[in-house]
Chains A and B, each alone.
Chain A
């Protein structure tokens, strides 16, 4: 598949103040997607201000000097469009999809809120309640507390330690002035880039971008990449939940997004748990019938990320038995690597996952944005991404598996029904590593449906944003 390129014809517009825009003209439908990415995420938050990036994402819709409160949604609606945004650890993105004969208002909105967001104290107070409701909703979710506990065990020093949505006590204390300071410090043209995909006139769009974003002043550059010290031993936690289903989350520290190992980890994740043919699905779901679902996510990030492995146990199954088998299968993968025929099938699925993202303008904009934001080579990496996957060998995959799947560096979190009497020590073994200081979690909300991904879906990693299940387990990202 290395002869295929996933790189569309992109016109790059670069301004003196550091702003950059990627423009892709495509038809035939009269639609446009516009995404403004900020290189600002929960990673940039200081102690005591956790959650401010995500809260600010909400406030970016609450009025600017030019667009009064309510006008952004109203203008979007009149453009026949929709808007939304998400915040993750490394970045925040705002996006519009619109009819192509009236989409340019989106550029005006983005330019206005880059520096002139009102952050009105009254609106701030009202929206804080909304964010706290969102936090409560996430706390009621069955997976999110497990995911966050795993993340906080993996990262003891790095700001990835704290959840994207923030801690309740920080959010409650946060003032409008603190948010204003954060906004002025971090939000500017040199920390942002724009992606526009759709039925556009590129020359006209480029000109409009220069007019609107050219005069905006730079802000301070981003902090240098940080690295979490290597874990000294396995870390474990047990959450008592109000749910009746037992769940397991493993986390392995890995590498940065876009590094060569990242591609290998995508393949390894798929081979481990993301299809009916994967090792863990075959063993735990089909053969031993111990779990109802298993999912593996390669979450590489700007700073070294992690690979998460999640299982939902069948009723009455002994947790220690499942954990022992997970370890056994991971060791088997380290020993055996990925069989040649399996590798061919996985690579076919990876290619498909890229093709599917070209069906809709927003998906394509998301794909370009993810690569531009997250990989050292930026969006141009898409030109060689399939060739990189294609060049992976079984020997290299074994090496990468051995490098990262080290049980002395993992985090393991069990979510046990609060009523369970025999689950105090569910693990096959318990090492002397640190454990979570999180209080027992007593809330949840929507249980994920049985995942169809295990039934034959292509693998999709962080840079392939069509995957929904990973987002289900992640942070409080979306505004609505």
Chain B
């Protein structure tokens, strides 16, 4: 399919190093704005696990100008939604409220005061969430899997921290993290709405031109190596199902094999419906599960992601499911995918990627990705050709390079 897509995008870089982006989305009556700053996993001190997460959770608990309820009232009165996170946040609002919504997002991200009482309350909520996750076998398995794959790398720590590390955090830790890392250099503010990009950029510039500060010095992020072979653990919990994670360290989004591997993923374990080999075999043919997947590209980002195969199944099927994954991993490394499989996946990828451009928040995220990963704004025009050019042998070679069946971590939790 020839995609008649020409997004109208504008961009400005401010002296502070902050990049502003705007996309015109004609015909909608809504608006979205995303702030994503250059804050990295290694910026969180190793002994303050969960600090970045708690900062994100408490950005909307009070600013220099408004307390938490006043902020919520202001947001709700616009008919807006704001979600804050440890790198900034996103606001979605009716287009007529774009200016006020942008100002609120700015205030919440850049002027938080982390009031003691509110921080303690949210901290208690996060601790309850951690507790709930500790009796959720899927979360337990995922957390342990992540730790085994990443080892001492910052990504090996649970995002929300542990009960112990979160319990130790104080408002001054949050303020220090915010002061140190919420800086404009290397960051993005992107928006999408019905107005032309220049007008939207003017609004962003007016809101964010006062955002200044020296570029932070990030500690270099350590490399992640494949761990030793033969790591296989089961964490018994009294449940109906067992949740199995299997995999190892993956790739960054900028890896040149990314596109070939995205084709591989769809053949192996992420294709739509039950078109992938793992879904066809383990769910459709053997009826082992409701939920199954396997892939390496979905988690590829600024840091290396993971190759992850997942299945939730009955305990008596655990080994059969693991063997099924192993068979498919070995097969895709050793045999070129069939011409039909390859064509089917290409048809899907070249036809479906346009759906990622449907919503304002997706458009804003797209422009940030286009710059952050060096894809360029013409990426949507180039993408179909990148996919069409991939051969079956390239898929096999990439699978052989990136999937290591002898170095897999296998972690399960739940019924035994």
Query: Could you give, for residues 108-145 of chain A, a 1 whenever the CB lies within 8 Å of some chain B CB and a 0 otherwise?
Result: 00000000000000000111111101101101101000
Verify if B344 is at the interface (C-beta below 8 Å from A): yes
Q: Which residues in B have their C-beta under 8 angstroms from that of A414?
A: none
Query: Which of the candidate stretches A12-20, A302-310, A347-355, A398-406 sits at the interface with the other chain?
Result: A347-355
Query: Could you give, for residues 456-473 of chain A, a 1 whenever the CB lies within 8 Å of some chain B CB and a 0 otherwise?
Result: 111000000000000000
The distance in angstroms between the C-alpha atoms of A80 and B289, with both chains bound, is 26
Query: Could you give, for residues 60-74 of chain B, a 1 whenever the CB lies within 8 Å of some chain A CB and a 0 otherwise?
Result: 100000001100110
Known contacts: A315-B127, A349-B79, A447-B129. The answer to whether A73 contacts B273 by CB under 8 A is yes
Query: Which of the candidate stretches B118-126, B168-176, B204-212 sits at the interface with the other chain?
Result: B118-126
8 A Cβ contacts from B96-141 to A: 121, 124-129, 131-139
In the complex, which residue of chain B has the Cβ closest to the Cβ of A349? Answer: B79
Verify if B220 is at the interface (C-beta below 8 Å from A): no
Known contacts: A81-B272, A286-B68, A447-B133. The answer to whether A456 contacts B351 by CB under 8 A is no
8 A Cβ contacts from A1-43 to B: 26-31
The distance in angstroms between the C-alpha atoms of A448 and B274, with both chains bound, is 26
When the two chains form the complex, which single residue of A74, A449, A455 contacts B344, counting CB atoms closer than 8 Å?
A74
The answer to whether A130 touches B287, judged by C-beta atoms less than 8 angstroms apart, is: yes
The distance in angstroms between the C-alpha atoms of A73 and B344, with both chains bound, is 11
In the complex, which residue of chain A has the Cβ closest to the Cβ of B361? Answer: A359
The distance in angstroms between the C-alpha atoms of A449 and B130, with both chains bound, is 9
Tell me how many residues of A have a C-beta within 8 Å of chain B: 80
The answer to whether B287 touches A127, judged by C-beta atoms less than 8 angstroms apart, is: yes
The distance in angstroms between the C-alpha atoms of A442 and B72, with both chains bound, is 38
The answer to whether A130 touches B239, judged by C-beta atoms less than 8 angstroms apart, is: no
The distance in angstroms between the C-alpha atoms of A125 and B29, with both chains bound, is 48
The distance in angstroms between the C-alpha atoms of A77 and B351, with both chains bound, is 9
When the two chains form the complex, which single residue of A101, A443, A450, A455 contacts B1, counting CB atoms closer than 8 Å?
A101
Known contacts: A72-B273, A277-B69. The answer to whether A97 contacts B287 by CB under 8 A is no
Query: Could you give, for residues 329-345 of chain A, a 1 whenever the CB lies within 8 Å of some chain B CB and a 0 otherwise?
Result: 00000000000000011
Q: Which residues in B have their C-beta under 8 angstroms from that of A101?
A: 1
The answer to whether B76 touches A348, judged by C-beta atoms less than 8 angstroms apart, is: yes
The distance in angstroms between the C-alpha atoms of A29 and B25, with both chains bound, is 10
8 A Cβ contacts from B133-159 to A: 133-139
Query: Which of the candidate stretches B38-46, B227-235, B295-303, B352-360 sits at the interface with the other chain?
Result: B352-360
When the two chains form the complex, which single residue of A129, A361, A444, A458 contacts B287, counting CB atoms closer than 8 Å?
A129
Verify if A367 is at the interface (C-beta below 8 Å from B): no
The answer to whether A31 touches B354, judged by C-beta atoms less than 8 angstroms apart, is: yes
The answer to whether A129 touches B239, judged by C-beta atoms less than 8 angstroms apart, is: no
When the two chains form the complex, which single residue of B30, B127, B129, B290 contacts A355, counting CB atoms closer than 8 Å?
B30
The answer to whether A447 touches B358, judged by C-beta atoms less than 8 angstroms apart, is: no
8 A Cβ contacts from B344-395 to A: 344-345, 347-352, 354-355, 357-360
Query: Could you give, for residues 271-295 of chain B, a 1 whenever the CB lies within 8 Å of some chain A CB and a 0 otherwise?
Result: 1111100001001111111110000
The answer to whether B72 touches A276, judged by C-beta atoms less than 8 angstroms apart, is: yes
Q: Which residues in A have their C-beta under 8 angstroms from that of B69?
A: 276-277, 282, 286
Verify if B251 is at the interface (C-beta below 8 Å from A): no
When the two chains form the complex, which single residue of A29, A136, A314, A457 contacts B128, counting CB atoms closer than 8 Å?
A314
Verify if A423 is at the interface (C-beta below 8 Å from B): no
Tell me how many residues of B have a C-beta within 8 Å of chain A: 81
The answer to whether B240 touches A292, judged by C-beta atoms less than 8 angstroms apart, is: no
Q: Which residues in B have their C-beta under 8 angstroms from that of A383?
A: none
Verify if A360 is at the interface (C-beta below 8 Å from B): yes
Q: Which residues in B have their C-beta under 8 angstroms from that of A98?
A: 351
Q: Which residues in A have their C-beta under 8 angstroms from that of B52?
A: none
Query: Could you give, for residues 375-410 of chain A, a 1 whenever the CB lies within 8 Å of some chain B CB and a 0 otherwise?
Result: 000000000000000000000000000000000000
When the two chains form the complex, which single residue of B75, B239, B272, B358 contacts A31, counting CB atoms closer than 8 Å?
B358
Q: Which residues in A have their C-beta under 8 angstroms from that of B274?
A: 61, 70, 73, 480
8 A Cβ contacts from A64-105 to B: 70, 72-74, 76-83, 97-99, 101-102
The answer to whether B286 touches A30, judged by C-beta atoms less than 8 angstroms apart, is: no
The answer to whether B138 touches A446, judged by C-beta atoms less than 8 angstroms apart, is: yes
The answer to whether B72 touches A133, judged by C-beta atoms less than 8 angstroms apart, is: no
Verify if B308 is at the interface (C-beta below 8 Å from A): no
The answer to whether B312 touches A74, judged by C-beta atoms less than 8 angstroms apart, is: no
The distance in angstroms between the C-alpha atoms of A88 and B349, with both chains bound, is 31
The answer to whether B81 touches A456, judged by C-beta atoms less than 8 angstroms apart, is: yes
Q: Which residues in B have their C-beta under 8 angstroms from that of A27?
A: 27
When the two chains form the complex, which single residue of A61, A83, A140, A277 contacts B241, counting CB atoms closer than 8 Å?
A140
When the two chains form the complex, which single residue of B81, B125, B275 contacts A450, counting CB atoms closer than 8 Å?
B125
In the complex, which residue of chain A has the Cβ closest to the Cβ of B313? Answer: A133
The answer to whether A352 touches B79, judged by C-beta atoms less than 8 angstroms apart, is: yes
The answer to whether A130 touches B290, judged by C-beta atoms less than 8 angstroms apart, is: yes
The answer to whether A28 touches B27, judged by C-beta atoms less than 8 angstroms apart, is: yes
Q: Which residues in A have their C-beta under 8 angstroms from that of B273?
A: 61, 72-73, 76-77, 82-83, 480
Known contacts: A80-B347, A276-B72, A348-B77. The answer to whether A31 contacts B355 by CB under 8 A is yes
In the complex, which residue of chain A has the Cβ closest to the Cβ of B358? Answer: A360
The answer to whether A126 touches B287, judged by C-beta atoms less than 8 angstroms apart, is: yes
Q: Which residues in B have their C-beta under 8 angstroms from that of A358?
A: 28-30
The answer to whether A134 touches B290, judged by C-beta atoms less than 8 angstroms apart, is: yes
The distance in angstroms between the C-alpha atoms of A401 and B127, with both chains bound, is 35
The answer to whether B275 touches A77, judged by C-beta atoms less than 8 angstroms apart, is: yes
In the complex, which residue of chain A has the Cβ closest to the Cβ of B350? Answer: A80
6 A-B pairs with CB atoms under 8 Å apart are A73-B275, A80-B354, A99-B1, A133-B241, A140-B137, A315-B131
Since A73-B275, A244-B131, A314-B128 are in contact, a sample of 19 more A-B pairs with Cβ atoms closer than 8 Å, ordered by chain A residue number, is A26-B27, A31-B355, A78-B344, A102-B1, A130-B283, A133-B289, A133-B290, A136-B240, A140-B414, A142-B132, A243-B135, A245-B131, A277-B69, A282-B69, A351-B94, A352-B94, A359-B28, A445-B239, A450-B126
6 closest A-B pairs by CB: A80-B351, A73-B273, A352-B79, A129-B287, A447-B132, A276-B72
